[in-house]
Chains A and B, each alone.
Chain A
Amino acid sequence: MSTLKLDLENYKELLQEYIRTKDEQALYQAEQFSKQSMQHKISPDEIINVHIQSLEEIYPEMPEYIQSSMNFLLETMISYGLAYQEHQSLREKQLELKSEISVAANMQKTLLSTVKPELEEVEIGALSVPAKQMNGDYHHFVYDGKGNLGIAIADVIGKGVPAALCMSMIKYSMDSFPEMRMDPDVILGSLNRVVERNVDSSMFVTMFYGLYNFEDHTFSYSSAGHEPCFYYRQDQDEFEEIDAPGLILGVSSESTYVRYEKKVEKGDLVILLTDGVTECRQGERFIEQEEVLKVIKSFAHLPAQEIVENVYRYFERLQDFQLRDDFTLIVLRRNV
C-alpha cells in the first residue's frame, strides 16, 4: 500500500486555494481530484493522510489538538479503506465471472444447436430466447429411422447456469437413444430415468415430445408435465389444447407416459411452447391464455417462422423488452 505522494502537492494547492477563496471552482476541482483518485484505486484513508500532511505543511504551527483529532480521524478510516479495497477486488471478480458465463453461454449455444428442417410437406417456425445469458429451455429436431420428424421441447424448472448444465445432459442422452425407437412415450420414459438418476432432486424438467409422420400426417405426442400445447384448425379459426398426462421428468423412476395421436389437416397448425410464452407478464399481471392464443391467431396467416417471430416481438414489447423467463415457441403447419 503506497501513499499518495504523487498528488500531495496537487492536493495541498487545491486545499490552500479553497481556504483562501472559499471558491466553488476549488470545490469542483476537489471533486475531480477524488474521481481521479478513485480511478487509481486510492482508498479513503489515503486521502485523509494526504489531507493531514497538507495541513502540516500549510500550517506548521497547527495546534496540537487539531493534529491529534486528525490522527483520530485517520484511525477510524483505516477499516473503510480496507472495505473499499475489498469492494474493488470483488468487482474485478464479478467482471471475470460475467465474462466466463458469456463464454459458457456461447458454448451452450453450439452444444444445443439444432437444425430446423426445411420441408415441403410441413413448414416449421422455431424461436428460443433466454431470459438471462444461459437458456434453460431446449428444443430439438431429429429424424427417426423411418423418416418421421421428432420434435422435443423442454423447460428446466429454474434458470441460469444450473438449468443450462442440466439441459446439456438431456441433449446428450437424447443423442444416444437408438434411432429406431422414437415413440414419444418411450423417449420420455428413458429420459425420466436419466434425469432421476443424474440430476439433483431439486431440479425438474418438463418436456413435450412429438413425432410427425409424413405418410399419414399424424402427430403423436406425450408430455412429462409440460405446458399444454395447441392445435389450430384453420377452417374454424379455433384452438384445441393438446396435452397428455405424465409426471415431470426426474420425480420418480417409475413414471410412465401415455402416447396420443392427432390427425393433422392441411393448413392447420401445431403449436409447441414453454411457460415463458404462456406466463408473460405485463407489470404484475399475468396475461391470460386467451390473450396468448389471440396473439398467435392474429399472425396465423403468416409463414410459420414469421408467426413465431411476430409473437415473440409482441410479448417482448409487452414486457418492456425484459424477458422474465426463457421463451421458446415452435409452430408447424401442414402445407400439402
Chain B
Amino acid sequence: MDFQSCVNIKKEWDIVGARQLGRDISRKVGFGTVDQARIATAISELARNIYLYAGTGKVCFEVLEEIDHKGIAIIAMDNGPGIREISQVMEDGFSTSGGLGAGLPGVKRLMDEFDIQSEEGKGTEIRVVKWLR
C-alpha cells in the first residue's frame, strides 16, 4: 500500500475527474471492462454524495498488492454534516426511492468490501475495496 492518489471534490466536474483516475488505476491493476464500469459507478456515487451533502471532500485511491491477490481501495472523505442513522442509509429503497441513484447499498453491491465511519457534525469516511479475480 505504497501508492495513494487523491482527487478533491468541489464541483460537479470533479466527479468526472475522480471517475477517470479510478478507471485508469483499475485498468492498470488489471480489471476488465465490466469491473472498470462498476468501479467507476461506485466512485461516481461516493463523489456525488460528497458534492451534494458535504459540499467538499476528496476521493483517494490505493492499489492493494498482497501475495495472492491485487485490488483497488477507494476512500471517500468529507467534513460534512455526517450521517446520523447509518443503518437507515444502508437500507435498500431508502435513498433510491426517488430514482436518484444507487445509494450506498448500491456501492456496497458494486464492490467487495465496504466500511463506513461517520460522526454527526464532523464528517464521513467510506472505504471500499474491489479485488481482482
Interface, chain A (partner B; CB < 8 A): 1-3, 45-46, 49, 52, 71, 74-75, 78-79, 82-83, 85-86, 89-90, 93
B interface residue count range (under 10 / 10 to 19 / 20 to 34 / 35 or more): 10 to 19
Given A71-B37, A75-B37, A78-B37, 19 more A-B residue pairs with CB atoms under 8 Å apart are A2-B133, A3-B32, A45-B37, A46-B34, A49-B34, A71-B33, A74-B33, A74-B37, A75-B40, A75-B41, A78-B41, A82-B41, A82-B102, A83-B102, A85-B109, A86-B93, A86-B102, A86-B106, A90-B92
CA distance A74 to B34 in the complex (A): 7
A89 proximity list for chain B (CB < 8 A): 92
Does B121 count as interface, using CB distance less than 8 angstroms? no
Which of B34, B40, B133 has a CB less than 8 Å from the CB of A45? B34
- A residues less than 8 Å from B109 (CB atoms): 1, 82, 85-86
Could you say which residues of chain A place their CB within 8 Å of the CB of B101? 79
When distances are taken between beta carbons in the complex, the residues of chain A under 8 Å from B133 are 2
**Complex Cα–Cα for A118 and B109 (A):** 61
Total cross-chain contacts (CB, 8 A): 47
Output the least CB separation between A84 and chain B (Å).
Answer: 10
CB distance from B108 to the nearest CB of A (A): 10
What's the minimum C-beta distance from B70 to chain A, rounded to whole angstroms?
17
**Residue from A2, A78, A86, A89 having most chain B Cβ neighbours under 10 A:** A78
- Is B38 positioned at the interface, with any CB of A under 8 Å from its CB? yes
Picked from B38, B102, B105, the residue with its CB within 8 Å of the CB of A1 is B38
19 contacts between A and B (CB under 8 A): A1-B109, A2-B133, A3-B34, A49-B33, A74-B33, A75-B37, A78-B38, A79-B102, A79-B106, A82-B41, A82-B102, A83-B96, A83-B102, A85-B109, A86-B92, A86-B96, A86-B105, A86-B106, A93-B92
Q: Which of A46, A49, A82, A93 contacts B110 (CB 8 A)?
A: A82
Given the complex, which residues of A lie within 8 Å of B32, measured CB to CB? 3
* B61-103 to A contact mask, C-beta < 8 Å, 1/0: 0000000000000000000000000000000110010000110
User: From residue B47, how far is it (CB to closest CB) to chain A in Å?
Assistant: 15
Query: What B residues does A2 contact at CB under 8 A?
Result: 133
How far is it, in angstroms, between the C-alpha of A9 and the C-alpha of B106 when the chains are bound? Answer: 29
Complex: how many Å from CA A74 to CA B96?
21
Whether B93 contacts A90 by the Cβ 8 Å rule is yes
Residue of B whose beta carbon sits closest to that of A5: B133
With both beta carbons as reference points, the residue of chain B lying nearest to A72 in the complex is identified as B37
The answer on a CB contact under 8 Å between B110 and A1 is yes
Q: CB < 8 Å: which of A3, A75, A82, A93 contacts B106?
A: A82
* Chain A residues in 8 Å Cβ range of B93: 86, 90
Nearest-Cβ distance from residue A40 to partner chain B, whole angstroms: 16
> Closest CB-CB distance, B77 to chain A, in whole Å?
23
Residue of B nearest to A74 (CB): B37
Q: A45 CA to B34 CA in the complex, in Å?
A: 8
Pick from B33, B34, B40 the residue with the most CB of A within 10 Å.
B34
Chain B residues, CB < 8 A from A82: 41, 102, 106, 109-110
A78 to B40: give the CA distance in the assembly, Å. 10
Q: Give Cα distance in the complex from A49 to B31, angstroms.
A: 13
From 1 to 44 in chain B, residues with beta carbon under 8 angstroms from any chain A beta carbon are: 32-34, 37-38, 40-41
Residues in A neighbouring B37, C-beta threshold 8 A: 45, 71, 74-75, 78
Residue of A nearest to B130 (CB): A1
Give, as a whole number of angstroms, the nearest-CB distance from B111 to chain A.
9
B23 CB, nearest partner CB in chain A, Å = 10
Task: Report the minimum CB–CB distance from A320 to chain B (whole Å).
Answer: 32
For the complex, give the distance between the alpha carbons of A301 and B33 in Å. Answer: 79
A62 to chain B, nearest CB (A): 14
Residues on the B chain within 8 Å of A85, using CB: 109
A75 to B102, CA, bound (A): 14
